[in-house]
A and B are shown apart, each in its own frame.
Chain A
Amino acid sequence: MDSYKLKATIMDEAAMKRAVTRIAHEILERNEGSSNIALVGIVTRGVHLARMIADEIEKIEGSKPPIGTLDISFYRDDVMRHIAPVIHATNIPFDIDRIDIVLVDDVLYTGRTIRAALDALMDYGRPKTVQLAVMVDRGHRELPIRADYVGKNVPSSREEDVRVRIVPIDDCNIVEIWEKTTTEGSEA
């Protein structure tokens, strides 16, 4: 197993809060209000990020957009290599046809999760548009996918791990970079 040590905290609680507020404004600006949008968070941290953004939108617009949760386990391209131990139920309690969907995830990296999420979403209906909001874009895309709303661009090395911590899964709202420590002689 690779082990990691903390390198830096790149966003604190206040920075994340500001990013969420800005993303909420950008979503509303681009979609001309919240009347036709719904947020879909990718489990698990994307769901809580979606809730934070929805709360901000409610403060601005006075009404909260619908929120769904999406588990992409059954749509992954690496099912044969490993499967996630716990599968969280997908719950999209609204009709997504002709809706502007904002997919929400914590970190955008290779783009494979988003590819799977798009496939999963399309099995629920035909949204008018699908947009992507992430807290961190760390680069290293392996597919032609980009985010529409980004909390922070973080150029990172593949040897690093970018971790977004979100209440209530974690005890605080911060973004950290962890670097891999080479453990000599230890068998993985």
Chain B
Amino acid sequence: MLSVKHLIDTYSLTADDITQILDTAKSFDPIVNARTIKKVPALRGRTIVNLFLEPSTRTLKSFELAEKRLSADSISMGGSTSSVVKGESLADTIQTIDAMNVDMFVVRARLAGTPQVITQNTDAIVINGGDGKHQHPTQAMLDLYTIREHFGHLDGLKVAIVGDLAHSRVCGSLAPALKTMGADVTLVAPPTFQVGDPTWFGCNQTNHLDDVIEDMDVVYMLRVQLERMEGAAIPSRREYNRLYGLSLEREARMKPNAIICHPGPMNRGMEIDAEVADCARSRILDQVNAGVLTRMAEMYLLLGGEE
């Protein structure tokens, strides 16, 4: 059993919660990746609504697949196809869906705090599938799983998170979760992309990727959100790539056993060079696979067993 009823953020999770999620995900691995019949009846008869108020492909499909693999019944609703666009308030939308007796909401929203608000309008369990710049806890769990699979542990690892930290819910959930598990986190970004608070979750901060890359076990590249470039937070695509992009030259300087992660979707040639994304160190596709396993674990642990 987890110590939380809903999965809203990672800083509420204990090390024990995270370990339970990762261990449970591990036990789904042979089912999903080695068997002909890739599903179990664990959540048979449970109803899950994927309420995706912001566009998403990989997170939504990962959840949908995880739900099918657990035999849950699920429906997915998007912002443009829901009554939110007709002017219905979020609370009314939730109460309307809730009246159909659902067990779980998976929520993706542009507005930070939306999943938390939804918990107040339903008895169902809520999983945050990414809310604004706030949190993306299920992404953090799949990242931890991927890293733990490679190294066998998380404590003591040196992890650099590189890129648009200030706008990143991925960083917002990954960094605290890594700290909880005893990893050493270094945030690498231009000053305009830094988190602002120099003591934030006890992470080291630097503006220079070249200063730290040789020490790192994990280099985690964030997507540069091109839609935010209009504000001139960074001078140009080429300059960003030169200073913060993961090039083959930088990849060659990494520790022999170090790995590269990226939450996707990638801007090849911007934060990560095309050859690096496909190199032997890259765990990007393992992360996608881990996404289904860890989401299965989260839903199983939150929906199973109330006693």
- Say whether A associates with B: yes
What 6 new A-B contacts, CB under 8 Å, besides A81-B305, A82-B304?
Answer: A74-B40, A79-B43, A88-B27, A91-B30, A123-B37, A124-B37
Residue with the greatest number of chain A CB neighbours at <10 A, chosen from B1, B24, B304: B304
Q: Which of A86-138 contact B (CB under 8 A)?
A: 86-91, 119-120, 123-125
Tell me, yes or no, whether A144 is within 8 Å of chain B by CB: no
B68: shortest Cβ distance to chain A, in Å? 14
Task: Look across to chain B and name the residue whose beta carbon is closest to the beta carbon of A123.
Answer: B37
- The residues of B that contact A89 with a CB separation of less than 8 Å are 26-27, 29-30
* Number of residues from A at the complex interface, CB < 8 A: 22
A82 touches B27 (CB 8 A): no
Interface of chain A, main secondary structure: loop
A101: shortest Cβ distance to chain B, in Å? 16
What are 18 A-B contacts defined by CB distance under 8 Å?
A73-B42, A74-B31, A74-B42, A74-B70, A74-B300, A75-B40, A75-B42, A79-B305, A80-B46, A80-B304, A81-B305, A81-B306, A83-B1, A87-B23, A90-B30, A123-B39, A124-B35, A124-B36
Tell me, yes or no, whether A85 is within 8 Å of chain B by CB: yes
Q: Which of B56-88 contact A (CB under 8 A)?
A: 70
- The residues of B that contact A179 with a CB separation of less than 8 Å are none
Chain B, interface residues (CB within 8 Å), range: 20 to 34
A112: shortest Cβ distance to chain B, in Å? 14
A87 touches B307 (CB 8 A): no
A31 CA to B303 CA in the complex, in Å? 43
- Candidates B29, B30, B37, B304; contact of A79 at CB < 8 Å: B304
- The residues of A that contact B301 with a CB separation of less than 8 Å are 83
A125 touches B36 (CB 8 A): yes
- The residues of B that contact A56 with a CB separation of less than 8 Å are none
B27 touches A80 (CB 8 A): no
- Candidates B23, B29, B46; contact of A86 at CB < 8 Å: B23
- The residues of B that contact A87 with a CB separation of less than 8 Å are 23-24, 27
- The residues of B that contact A125 with a CB separation of less than 8 Å are 36
Residues of chain A touching chain B, judged by Cβ–Cβ distance below 8 Å, are 71, 73-76, 79-83, 85-91, 119-120, 123-125
- The residues of A that contact B23 with a CB separation of less than 8 Å are 86-87
- The residues of B that contact A123 with a CB separation of less than 8 Å are 35, 37, 39-40
Interface of chain B, main secondary structure: loop
A61 CA to B300 CA in the complex, in Å? 43
B305 touches A83 (CB 8 A): yes
B152: shortest Cβ distance to chain A, in Å? 16
- The residues of B that contact A74 with a CB separation of less than 8 Å are 31, 40-42, 70, 300
- The residues of B that contact A91 with a CB separation of less than 8 Å are 30
A43 CA to B31 CA in the complex, in Å? 16
A73 CA to B305 CA in the complex, in Å? 12
A91 CA to B31 CA in the complex, in Å? 10
A83 touches B304 (CB 8 A): yes
Task: Look across to chain A and name the residue whose beta carbon is closest to the beta carbon of B41.
Answer: A75
A71 CA to B35 CA in the complex, in Å? 14
B42 touches A79 (CB 8 A): yes
- The residues of A that contact B31 with a CB separation of less than 8 Å are 74, 90
B169: shortest Cβ distance to chain A, in Å? 29
A85 touches B42 (CB 8 A): no
Shortest 5 CB-CB distances between A and B: which pairs? A74-B40, A83-B305, A83-B304, A74-B42, A123-B37
A79 CA to B299 CA in the complex, in Å? 12
Task: Look across to chain B and name the residue whose beta carbon is closest to the beta carbon of A76.
Answer: B42
- The residues of B that contact A120 with a CB separation of less than 8 Å are 40
A84: shortest Cβ distance to chain B, in Å? 9
- The residues of B that contact A119 with a CB separation of less than 8 Å are 41
- The residues of A that contact B46 with a CB separation of less than 8 Å are 80
A40: shortest Cβ distance to chain B, in Å? 14
Task: Look across to chain B and name the residue whose beta carbon is closest to the beta carbon of A80.
Answer: B304
- The residues of B that contact A80 with a CB separation of less than 8 Å are 46, 303-306
A80 CA to B31 CA in the complex, in Å? 21
B35 touches A82 (CB 8 A): no
Task: Look across to chain B and name the residue whose beta carbon is closest to the beta carbon of A71.
Answer: B27
B302: shortest Cβ distance to chain A, in Å? 10
Task: Look across to chain B and name the residue whose beta carbon is closest to the beta carbon of A89.
Answer: B27
- The residues of A that contact B26 with a CB separation of less than 8 Å are 89
Task: Look across to chain B and name the residue whose beta carbon is closest to the beta carbon of A85.
Answer: B1
B1: shortest Cβ distance to chain A, in Å? 7
